[in-house]
Structure 1
């Protein structure tokens, strides 16, 4: 799975939305509201839109420490543990090593880093190939957990990227 800039797919997303308004079938979407884990303040919303070969991700997160934060889709849609560990490990149906989503080998749940500004706000717009919302293939993310970590992802340490504590957790659900 590779990721690519959101800009080239914006036209495709707008076309899909236009078709939806004409009654031609709309985009397949999902959303994950993020809530802080115990002792943290991070929260936000991550929206997912299925496009050919992947999923557009639009994340808006607040309450973070300034700087980089690991950001992953996890195997279980369970945020019941105060520290978010109930979400399990990274979503990895293909059995790959953890790594940078810009490179060929990595978990399907590996995502680009969230980067928070001086006020603790982070935005991310990207497309991740190999993921689905419609249930087709092994890349289906509906019902999976979504975790924001306290530290940057080094994209090397196995199997987690050494991203530290889980500061926010959400569950991906269709809209």
Structure 2
């Protein structure tokens, strides 16, 4: 045991990162980089079929995709499909005016599809009993600018979960909340 202890001690003392004094603070600028320039950002304020506020989703352009962040409330507990739809129109109660999923590359639905997935396919939301959910999702190969085409786009929450493979909707059920994608102020 003594030899093993000596070897461990020698290894620790010869490794600069492990031998540093934990009580000495690092310089103020050590390891910090300036914050990246904020990309173009759009938002969607979601409402349910009765016009009740359900929260907000922001979509920010990143170098190779879009960061989708949201804070939602007043949703039924359980798993819910979450998608970007092709038309920026949310007429209650069924929200069918939002059209199908945002799919400019004409792929099949679902992350499990061997033929790719719609650009608007997002992961399911898991809503706890209090009806509130917060999330950050990164969507590769999506551009904020494409969401602002002549007919716009919308963010949608569905009644059921997305099975990630049934084309064209993931067997997600009815549409329970919708928000038109608009330029952020």
Q: Under a length normalisation based on structure 1, what TM-score does the superposition of the two structures give?
A: 0.78
Q: Check the 8 A contact 1:57/1:127 in 2, yes or no.
A: yes
**Taking structure 1 as reference, are residues 101 and 34 closer, same or farther at Cα in structure 2, changes over 3 Å only?**
farther
Determine the C-alpha separation between the residues in 2 that align with 1:163 and 1:15.
38
After TM superposition, give the deviation of residue 55 of structure 1 in Å. Answer: 0.6
Where structure 1 has 5 or more consecutive residues not aligned to the other structure, the ranges are 1-10, 20-25
Give the equivalent residue in structure 1 for 2:147: 141
Aligned length: 150
Give the equivalent residue in structure 2 for 1:34: 46
After TM superposition, give the deviation of residue 60 of structure 1 in Å. Answer: 1.1
Determine the C-alpha separation between the residues in 1 that align with 2:101 and 2:40.
23
1:33-112 aligned within 5 A:
33-38=45-50, 43-100=54-111, 105-112=116-123
After TM superposition, give the deviation of residue 158 of structure 1 in Å. Answer: 1.3
Determine the C-alpha separation between the residues in 1 that align with 2:172 and 2:89.
19
Equivalent of 2:172 in 156, 163, 167: 163
Give the ranges of 4+ consecutive aligned residues of structure 1 lying more than 6 Å apart after TM superposition: 101-104
Determine the C-alpha separation between the residues in 2 that align with 1:70 and 1:146.
11
Give the equivalent residue in structure 2 for 1:15: 35
After TM superposition, give the deviation of residue 27 of structure 1 in Å. Answer: 2.5
Q: Secondary structure at the match of 1:15?
A: coil
CA radius of gyration, larger in: 2
Where structure 2 has 5 or more consecutive residues not aligned to the other structure, the ranges are 1-31
Determine the C-alpha separation between the residues in 2 that align with 1:34 and 1:111.
16
After TM superposition, give the deviation of residue 46 of structure 1 in Å. Answer: 0.1
Give the equivalent residue in structure 2 for 1:23: none
Residues 1:127 and 2:138 are matched in the alignment: yes
Give the equivalent residue in structure 2 for 1:6: none
| CA RMSD of superposed structures (Å) | 2.4
Determine the C-alpha separation between the residues in 2 that align with 1:57 and 1:101.
20
Higher relative CO (Cα under 8 Å, sequence separation at least 6) belongs to 1
After TM superposition, give the deviation of residue 15 of structure 1 in Å. Answer: 1.8
Q: Under a length normalisation based on structure 2, what TM-score does the superposition of the two structures give?
A: 0.74
